[in-house]
Amino acid sequence: MTGVKPLALQLCAFGPELEAGLGRMLDVVRWFELGAEQQASMLASRAGEVRSVITGGHIGCPSDLMSALPGLGLIAINGVGYDKVDLELAAARGVRVSTTPDVLTTDVADLAVGLTIDLMRGITLADRHVRDGKWPEGDRPLMHRVSGRRFGVVGLGRIGRATADRLAPFGSVRYHGPLPKDAPFAFEASIHELARWADVLVLTCQANEATRGLIDSDVLAALGPDGFLVNVARGSVVDEPALIQAIREHKIAGAALDVFAHEPHVPSELIASDRVVLTPHIASASTECRAAMRELVLDNVRAFLAGHPLPSAIV
């Protein structure tokens, strides 16, 4: 590519390979490293030059920033989440939006199953027991069998289906979503009935207004004191204060969480509980997955600059 590179705003840090690839095509401004005054100055002098925003699903693109960029043509998301981008505003302004679907499916589903096993068998707790030198003092309390359980999957999209397929050898699977799907699992129209039926409720749904706070105190009460919650979807899907109360008051047996309401900040009560397994939003954090995500982001940017259809556009 010759001549002046198109200007782009990078809204969060990426791996070195993705940043290098973006730098070969774009004049990248690391927006997330600028202070408020620097951002205002940059917009005052160069807003009209910005052609693309490169971001993560957990960041999205604030609507006020999108509106401040008259020449914006692409928001490329390194991830599958797009709940923090106003798609109607983007469409109205002629801004294309791309994500990285499919390439995350395997890794997110794998983690969902891994968290389920960890939560029920107490793997993290057992590891800590050994490392803390407590084994000579006695064995840990018994935990719970995974096989033969009932698994309720909330959201049977790509990731939900892959998760359900992995859980099926362990026990019965049902799912909840907006509509029934062509799948070998029973559909449950009521989230409360699914929670009542399930031993483990696994969240794999999209984050949007319909699912915001979907897992509230009533759903947790339906899951009950012997039920477990696993979330690899988005933090917004769970009413976090209600979850904290349910853990504190033993209204559910435990939770395994890869996502949180205000990342990277995790409530101290969740951190303090031995009945909660916590991971720092690592569902896609494998070298193989991140490499595939990187290439899809670069392919979308490359197609946009060439005026070609985007490989994975959602707008």
Q: Where are the domains of the chain?
A: 7-101+288-306, 105-278
When pLDDT is averaged across residues 73-80 and rounded to a whole number, the result is 96
Q: Is 176 a catalytic residue?
A: no
When pLDDT is averaged across residues 139-159 and rounded to a whole number, the result is 97
> Which pLDDT score, from 0 to 100, does residue 2 have?
52
Report the top-level CATH class of 105-278.
alpha beta
User: Of 234, 240, 290, 294, which is the active-site residue?
Assistant: 234
User: Of 161, 281, 290, 294, which is the active-site residue?
Assistant: 281
Q: Is 263 a catalytic residue?
A: yes
Q: What is the pLDDT of residues 11-31, one digit of tens each?
A: 999 999 999 999 999 999 999
Q: What is the pLDDT of residues 220-255, one digit of tens each?
A: 999 999 999 999 999 999 999 999 999 999 999 999
When pLDDT is averaged across residues 151-163 and rounded to a whole number, the result is 98
| Position 1 pLDDT exceeds 50 | no
SS (H, E, C) the chain: CCCCCCEEEECCCCCHHHHHHHHHHCEEEEHHHCCHHHHHHHHHHHHHHEEEEEEECCCCECHHHHHCCCCCCEEEEECCCCCCECHHHHHHCCCEEECCCCCCHHHHHHHHHHHHHHHHHCHHHHHHHHHCCCHHHCCCCCCCCCCCEEEEEECCCHHHHHHHHHHCCCEEEEEECCCCCCCCCEECCCHHHHHHHCCEEEECCCCCCCCCCCECHHHHHHHCCCCEEEECCCHHHECHHHHHHHHHCCCCCEEEECCCCECCECCHHHHHCCCEEECCCCCCCCHHHHHHHHHHHHHHHHHHHHCCCCCCECC
| Position 117 pLDDT exceeds 80 | yes
> Which pLDDT score, from 0 to 100, does residue 58 have?
87
CATH superfamily of 7-101+288-306: NAD(P)-binding Rossmann-like Domain (3.40.50.720)
Q: Is 234 a catalytic residue?
A: yes
Average pLDDT of the chain is 97
> Which pLDDT score, from 0 to 100, does residue 12 have?
96
> Which pLDDT score, from 0 to 100, does residue 73 have?
98
One fold for 7-101+288-306 and 105-278: yes
> Which pLDDT score, from 0 to 100, does residue 3 have?
72
Q: What is the pLDDT of residues 189-232, one digit of tens each?
A: 999 999 999 999 999 999 999 999 999 999 999 999 999 999 99
| Position 62 pLDDT exceeds 50 | yes
User: Of 24, 263, 288, 308, which is the active-site residue?
Assistant: 263
When pLDDT is averaged across residues 246-269 and rounded to a whole number, the result is 97
> Which pLDDT score, from 0 to 100, does residue 127 have?
98
Entry pTM? 0.91
